[in-house]
Amino acid sequence: MSAPIVFSGIQPTGRKHLGNYIGAIRQYVSGQDRGQPAIFCIVDLHALSVAYDPAELRERVHDTTAILLAAGLDPERCILFRQSDVREHTELTWLLSAVTSHGDLDRMTQFKEKTGAARELASAALFYYPVLMAADVLAYKATEVPVGDDQRQHVELMREVARRFNGRFGETLVVPELIVPTVGARIMDLQEPERKMSTTASTEAGTVFVLDEPAAIRKKLGSAVTDSGREVRRAPEKAGVTNLIDVLAVARGVGPEAIEAEFEGAGYGDFKKAVAEGVVELLAPVRERYAELRPDEAALEATLAAGAEKARALAAPTLAEVRQRMGLGPA
């Protein structure tokens, strides 16, 4: 089989948390040599589907770029770029909307959840979000899309859009596969371990940020919610402890059973201290490298510009083909 073309998008929010790091960023880094190419896109166009500040958006793109580089993405081995630098994404969004039905978009649970009762006030961009996401991936004829489980429905939709396009206009686009990370896909909020750690919905005390200082990490882990029992083992009714076991397993690069065995008979206090140290060791190198990279905005822009050039070279031929198939421009 030929090497996969990997594409993933990441929101430009500066405050990436442990869940993002374990569930997405680390997979990007480990997957960058597997993908030929592996393409990582900072999705600033998606970010403007909700209320935002223009100057801050630019800052957040730089933050995210620096975090990804600090975590180990190597622009020599992957394509790292800013979505809005490659106009093909917006053009393809419109073209794909011809084979996307209003009903498809209406069924998207993320749109429903994000808008709730305020549906009428939500931007059309938020409604269109999945079409832009389809364009992101289909422009590169990507074969694999590594994303969190919450994006499953969006990936299903892009698969359907690709199939419909091919059915209507002839075999052109590639139907991509969803790749959900197996380890650490669900890192839970430390204070509310029934809920996923998330940028928007989580508690501050329950969310470890990639850039947190060791003291903050120790404090958050120290006050992580456990249960009234005393055993360090995974169980459905022990959501807090289960989460901490998973976190330490990932931090140490071992299976959760190894953690359970190591802490058999130990108290929660010692266990939580060990988890804190594991997380500090996991994140400290990223934080330190970030501090070196983030101030040099010219260098970050140069990296993004070089990435955009490589991305454009791949997306432009797809767009030419799509336009041709759809009867746009001269024959």
Binding stretches for ligand TRP (CB under 6 A): 7-9, 11, 43, 46, 133, 136-137, 145, 147, 151
In the complex, least distance from residue 105 CB atom to ligand TRP, rounded to whole angstroms? 14
For the chain, state the CA radius of gyration.
21
In the complex, least distance from residue 10 CB atom to ligand TRP, rounded to whole angstroms? 6
Where does the chain show beta strands of DSSP type E? 6-10, 38-42, 79-82, 144-146, 177-179
Among 82, 14, 88, 86, residue whose Cα is nearest residue 42: 82
Cβ burial, residue 136 (10 Å; 0-12/13-18/19+)? buried
Whose Cβ is closer to ligand TRP: residue 4's or residue 9's?
A: 9
Whose Cβ is closer to ligand TRP: residue 51's or residue 298's?
A: 51
In the complex, least distance from residue 272 CB atom to ligand TRP, rounded to whole angstroms? 30
Whose Cβ is closer to ligand TRP: residue 99's or residue 145's?
A: 145
H or E element in which residue 273 lies: helix 268-293
Taking CA atoms, 84 is separated from 30, 58, 89, 111, 169, in Å, by 26, 11, 8, 22, 27
Whose Cβ is closer to ligand TRP: residue 177's or residue 270's?
A: 177
In the complex, least distance from residue 162 CB atom to ligand TRP, rounded to whole angstroms? 13
The DSSP secondary structure of 121-170, one letter per residue, reads: GS-HHHHHHHHHHHHHHHTTT-SEEE--GGGHHHHHHHHHHHHHHHHHH-
In the complex, least distance from residue 104 CB atom to ligand TRP, rounded to whole angstroms? 16
Whose Cβ is closer to ligand TRP: residue 46's or residue 238's?
A: 46
Q: Residue 22, Cβ neighbours under 10 Å: how many? A: 23
In the complex, least distance from residue 241 CB atom to ligand TRP, rounded to whole angstroms? 28
Q: Is 210 helix (H, G, I), strand (E, B) or coil?
A: coil
In the complex, least distance from residue 33 CB atom to ligand TRP, rounded to whole angstroms? 19
The DSSP secondary structure of 212-225, one letter per residue, reads: --HHHHHHHHHT--
In the complex, least distance from residue 308 CB atom to ligand TRP, rounded to whole angstroms? 15
In the complex, least distance from residue 11 CB atom to ligand TRP, rounded to whole angstroms? 5
Whose Cβ is closer to ligand TRP: residue 151's or residue 318's?
A: 151
Taking the C-alpha atoms of residue 231 and residue 306, their distance in angstroms, rounded to an integer, is: 52
Whose Cβ is closer to ligand TRP: residue 132's or residue 322's?
A: 132
Q: Are 248 and 259 in contact (CB under 8 A)?
A: yes
Taking the C-alpha atoms of residue 31 and residue 40, their distance in angstroms, rounded to an integer, is: 11
Measured at CB, which residue is nearest to ligand TRP?
9
Whose Cβ is closer to ligand TRP: residue 23's or residue 278's?
A: 23
What is the maximum alpha-carbon separation in the chain? 75
Whose Cβ is closer to ligand TRP: residue 88's or residue 136's?
A: 136
Taking the C-alpha atoms of residue 129 and residue 110, their distance in angstroms, rounded to an integer, is: 10
